[in-house]
Structure 1
């Protein structure tokens, strides 16, 4: 099967308004009708096939399996192939930091530049989390509130749960 994007997927990728997480967006970008499920699994991870099914059901992908010749049934007595166990999404404080650095760099605003440099200089996890928090709190003043909220969600998705909890605690402490 070589899944490919639908018009809905192309629109969602351009508008950044679809309710897709970073891994789903990455998978949609990779689904060009040329890569098969095995290649996508190698790029995304063992849960790629489940994500492809979800995106097909949501209308973002179409399967080229209907265009391919039918597969042969398993011979009698063959053991069924078990689906791989779902794995934990890879999360990283570094990934969240790099993502937000890229967003701040795109803002072309003096305050965004100062936040960028502060985040870039942060070394310890606590300093990085504090810089992420400061930048996320300032972002609604630099962009639209909706865009700032989507950026915040992506940062939290990229972070390990423990660090995301620290970021949430910092937000509550300053509120």
Structure 2
């Protein structure tokens, strides 16, 4: 089974409200429809199944198999729909906002505010690029590379080069 965020789950991550505690929020961020419950268990610990079940009961998560079974669309279009839906500036913005929120660093807090305030697409691209440039100073190289890899999956192709290109030295 592969847990996937519902619209409600994406909304609660974007609003940064008090609906979820840090552990629930972290689990919800990791529920991308690609990771199995076993993989999530390795990342979140022994109680991952119970945590995912709770998020599912509260309507934040849907198991990918359940979503495909309840859909009336042909299987090929069901598989293609999530990829297209996830490749958006909003998805990239939410992801980086959540990554910055997990960092306990004053620079991350400032970058979070900057990205949250960005409304124009060009401002969002600049804020994403700035956040990525500061991430190596706040986290490990491996973590930074995973974030860059995930952004490579969710960013619209038109913005990949602008956001992921290294800053001039």
**Range of TM-score over shorter length:** 0.5 to 0.7
Give the equivalent residue in structure 2 for 1:129: 125
Give the TM-score of the pair, scaled to structure 1: 0.55
2-structure distance, mates of 1:98, 1:47? 23
Distance 1:46 1:38, change over 3 A: farther
Report if aligned partners of 2:68, 2:78 keep a CA contact under 8 Å in 1: no
Cα distance between partner residues in 2 of 1:15 and 1:155 = 22
CA RMSD of aligned residues (A): 3.1
- TM-score, with length taken from structure 2: 0.57
Equivalent residue, structure 1, for 2:109: 113
2:123 is the counterpart of 1:92: no
Partner of 1:161: 157
| 2:92/2:154 contact within 8 Å kept | yes
CA distance in 1, matches of 2:149, 2:71: 25
Give the whole-Å Cα distance in 1 for the aligned partners of 2:105 and 2:162: 27
Spell out, residue by residue over 1:65-115, the C-alpha distance to the aligned partner (whole angstroms, 9 max, x if none): xxxxxxxxxxxxxxxxxxxxx566222101100110011011121110011
Q: Which of these residues, 2, 14, 37, is aligned with residue 10 of structure 1?
A: 37
Deviations 1:27-62 (A, max 9, x none): xx7157xx37422677x98243xxxxxxxxxxxxxx
C-alpha distance in 2 between matches for 1:144 and 1:98: 21
Output aligned runs, 1:50-65, within 5 Å: none
Unmatched runs of 5 consecutive residues or more in structure 2: 3-34, 44-61
Q: Higher helix share goes to which structure?
A: 2
2:150 equivalent to 1:174: no
**Structure 1 residues 120 and 37, CA, compared in 2 at 3 Å: closer, same or farther?**
closer
- Contact 1:96–1:156 (8 Å) recurs in 2: no
- Runs of 4+ with >6 A deviation: none
- Could you list the runs of 5+ residues in structure 1 that have no partner in the other structure? 17-28, 49-85
CA deviation map 1:118-151 (0-9, x unaligned): 1111122111111101101111111111111111
